[in-house]
Amino acid sequence: MPKLSIYLATAIAIALTSCQQNSSNKPLTVNDPNNPITIKAISYLRSQLNLPANLEIVVESQKANLSNTSDLCQIEAPTQEGLEIVLVTDGLRHILQTNKDASKIEICRSEDAQPQSTNKYIGAGYMLRYPADWQAIDFGLEPSGASTVIFTPNRQINGKSEKSLTKLIKELQESQQVYTIVAKRPVGNQAIADESFSSEIIKDPVIIPFDAKVKGAKSGTKKEFTTAIGNSSSSTNLWLVQALTLETDQFIYLVRQYRPNIQKDDKAAKAAFDQFADGFALIP
């Protein structure tokens, strides 16, 4: 009977030990509020940056990453177990490195966590930035060096279609959709030089002070005006136009946004043109 008691006691002890080991080896999920390493990392970030107690900190990721106890941010080759923890708060992403038990923590770097708001476009002789939710429709480079690109927030327009430039512009105008034309033409091309592009009649022009040399051009203008554009019902609609024109020895560059009069107070469209104009730069 004593032997049976010993056997039972031994079996229970083994079972308890096994359960404790399984429990301690159970992986902690990133969003587990009881994850001690996550709690330490959040507490450390809050204390180092003096963040308010009520400011939300989101755990974006947590993964194993080799480290050095004396050099957590990896200036020297890492050899020990550790973790990389990414925390996001107040529009910033903070990358933290810890040792295995998070008794040592460092903020290795921080970066903007906001979604990308602009894309870069590199054309023939220029580059610019445009809103990330717009699409660019490139009509290619002509032997003369001329090129035309249409930018529009309208995702219903098929940029891969075989539409001609004229047809595409007409489609945008019929749908009363804001769009931007970026054109490059050889010097002497009257369609650009006399600003009668697309047979426009300029009304109420407003010249905006502008130094073209800042953009690397020898001359240029920046202006706003209205123009009447015909539609399929044989009537006309008023459009607001914002235009940037730059001239070099060989080419004239035009950035021109068309906005239907019904959207004249559209702040997003106004901001989009500023993005095109401010981000436009001539390149070799």
If DSSP states are collapsed to H, E and C, what string results for the chain? CHHHHHHHHHHHHHHHHHHHHHHHHCCCCCCCCCCHHHHHHHHHHHHHCCCCCCCCCEEEEEEECCECCCCCCCCCCCCECEEEEEEEECCEEEEEEEECCCCCEEEEEEEECCCCCEEEEEECCEEEEEECCCEEEEEEECCCCCEEEEEECCCCCCCCCCCCHHHHHHHHHHCCCCEEEEEEEECCCHHHHCCCHHHCCCEEEEECCCCHHHHCCCEEEEEEEEEEEECCCCCEEEEEEEEEEEECCCEEEEEEEEEEHHHCCCHHHHHHHHHHHHHCEECC
Q: Which pLDDT value is given to residue 183? A: 93
Q: Is the pLDDT of residue 116 over 70?
A: yes
- Paired strand residues for 63: 84
Asked whether residue 104 is assigned to any structural domain, the reply reads: yes
Rounded Cα distance, 181 and 200, in Å: 14
Whether residues 53 and 156 share a domain: the answer is no
Please say whether the beta carbons of 246 and 253 come within 8 A: yes
Whether residues 171 and 108 share a domain: the answer is no
Q: Is the pLDDT of residue 41 over 50?
A: yes
Mean pLDDT of 134-156: 88
Residue percentage of the chain with pLDDT more than 70? 78
Mean pLDDT of 194-208: 70
Least confident of 3-17, 147-161, 266-280: 3-17
Q: Is the pLDDT of residue 23 over 70?
A: no
Q: Is the pLDDT of residue 59 over 80?
A: yes
Whether residues 69 and 141 share a domain: the answer is no
Q: Which pLDDT value is given to residue 215? A: 86
- State pLDDT tens for residues 165-177: 888 888 898 888 9
Q: Is the pLDDT of residue 182 over 60?
A: yes
Whether residues 216 and 262 share a domain: the answer is yes
Please say whether the beta carbons of 149 and 123 come within 8 A: yes
The top-scoring range by mean pLDDT among 4-8, 140-144, 189-193 is: 140-144
Least confident of 26-40, 90-104, 216-230, 237-251: 26-40
Asked whether residue 12 is assigned to any structural domain, the reply reads: no
Q: Which pLDDT value is given to residue 16? A: 43
Asked whether residue 245 is assigned to any structural domain, the reply reads: yes
Q: Which pLDDT value is given to residue 257? A: 94
Whether residues 176 and 162 share a domain: the answer is yes
Whether residues 171 and 250 share a domain: the answer is yes
Q: Residue 22 — pLDDT band, cuts 50, 70, 90?
A: very low
How far does Cα 196 stand from its chain's mean position? 34
Q: Which pLDDT value is given to residue 197? A: 56
Residue percentage of the chain with pLDDT more than 90? 22
Asked whether residue 6 is assigned to any structural domain, the reply reads: no
Whether residues 149 and 185 share a domain: the answer is yes
Whether residues 193 and 148 share a domain: the answer is yes
Least confident of 2-11, 86-95, 232-241: 2-11
Rounded Cα distance, 21 and 169, in Å: 69
Mean pLDDT value across the chain? 79
Q: Which pLDDT value is given to residue 75? A: 60
Whether residues 128 and 71 share a domain: the answer is no
90 residue type, one letter: D
Whether residues 262 and 128 share a domain: the answer is yes
- State pLDDT tens for residues 236-268: 888 999 999 999 999 999 999 999 987 777 788
Tokens for 218?
């020898």
Where does residue 165 fall: left (phi above 0), alpha (psi -120 to 50 degrees), or beta otherwise?
alpha
Residue 44's Cβ-side half-sphere holds a number of Cα atoms within 13 Å equal to 21
Residue 60's Cβ-side half-sphere holds a number of Cα atoms within 13 Å equal to 13
Which residues have C-beta within 8 Å of that of residue 35, sequence separation ≥ 6? Answer: 28, 29, 62
Range of the structural domain that residue 193 is part of: 118-282
